[in-house]
Amino acid sequence: MATPQIPTLSNEVSKNLEVITQIEPFVRTAIETLLVDVNTCWQPTDFLPDMSKEDALDQVRQLRERAAGIPDEVIVSLIGNMITEEALPSYQTYFNLLDGINTEHSVTSENAWVTWSRQWTSEENRHGDLLNKYLYLSGRADMRQVEVTIQTLISNGFDANTDNDPYQAMIYTSFQERATKISHNNTGKLASKAGDNVLSRICTTIAGDEGRHERAYKTFMREIFDIDPNGAMLAFEKMMRKQIAMPALLIDKDNDRNMFARFSAITQKIGIYTTWDYAKIIEHLVEFWKIESVTGLTGAAAKAQVYLSKLPERYLRVAERVKAPEEISLVWLSC
C-alpha cells in the first residue's frame, strides 16, 4: 500500500508564515496599547435604560419617543450594521484558521495573534449587544425577522475570500474596520439630525472602537510591508482585484430574499456607506502604506505597485458616475 503523501508548504506560504511569526512582538504591543481594559471600558448598559430602577419604564418610553422620529431608512441601516456585528463567532473562527495565526490549534492559546483575536472580538461583541437591545426597546424593528437573519448569517459562515493568506486577511480587516467606522459615524450623524442624541452617541462610540481596530490592522500590515514588500504588494493587489466582500454578504445564501442587496441600496441612497466611501478607503490605504514610494520591488510586485497607485483615481471616477437608487425596498421593520 502506498504511503500517504504529507502536503508540503510552498516557499511563498512558508515565507509568509515566517513574517507573521516575526511580528508577534508588535502584535503584543498592540494588545497592550490599542485594546481596552474590560473593567473600565464602556458596556452596553451604559447607554440603555436601567431596568433595575423604579423609573425604568419611563426611560424606555423616552427611548421610544426619540427613536420614533428616526427615518425608516436609518433604522434599516442600523439593523444591517447590528446584524453584521452579531456574526462575531464566524469572524473569530475565520481569523484563527488563517495560516500561521493559531499554530497550536487552541483558542485559549497565549500566542499573541490568538490573544489578539479573542480580545478584538470581545470588544466587537459589545457593538451587536448594544444595538440589538436598543432596537428591541425602540419597537422599530421586526425583531423576530432580525433574529432569523442573524442566525442565518452565522449558519452560513463567513468567507472574506482571502485564500487563507494572513497578508490578504490583514488588508481585508484594515479595509473592513475603516468601512464599519464610516458606516457607524454616518448613521450617528443621521440619528442626531433626527433628534436622537443618545443613538448618535452610541454610533459614535462604536465607531471609535472600529477606529482603534483599524489602526491596529493597518499597522500590522505596515510591518509586513517593511519586512516583505514584494509579498505585501502582491497581496494588496489580489484583494483589490477581487474586491472587498462585505461581512453580511451571505445572509442571502440559498434564498432569493435579496436582503443584502436591499440593505446596500439603502446605505448608498442615504449616504451611510457608498461607492464613494469604498473609493476613498482605497485611496487612504494606498497613502497610509505609501504604495507609490515602496522600493526594492521586482517582477509582478513592481507591476502591482503601478496598478495600485492608479487604483484610487480609477475608483473615484467610477464613484462619480454611480447614481443613488431611485427606489429602495425596506426590510426588517416592524409594522
Catalytic positions, written as ranges: 42, 85, 124, 127, 177, 180, 209-210, 213
The residues that bridge with 333 in the sheet, in sequence order, are 141
Rounded to whole angstroms, the Cα distance separating 141 from 334 reads: 5
Q: Cα separations (Å) of 79 from 143, 147, 180, 313, 329?
A: 10, 11, 13, 32, 14
Q: Is 59 exposed, middle or buried (0-12, 13-18, 19+ CB in 10 A)?
A: middle
Residue 291: CB atoms within 10 Å: 23
Which residues, including other chains, have CB under 8 Å from residue 193's CB and lie 6 or more apart?
A: none
Q: Is 279 exposed, middle or buried (0-12, 13-18, 19+ CB in 10 A)?
A: buried
**Interior CA angle at 248 toward 67 and 322, to 5°?**
85
Phi, psi of 245 (to 5 degrees): -85, 130
| Nearest CA-CA partner of 87 in 160, 175, 25 | 160
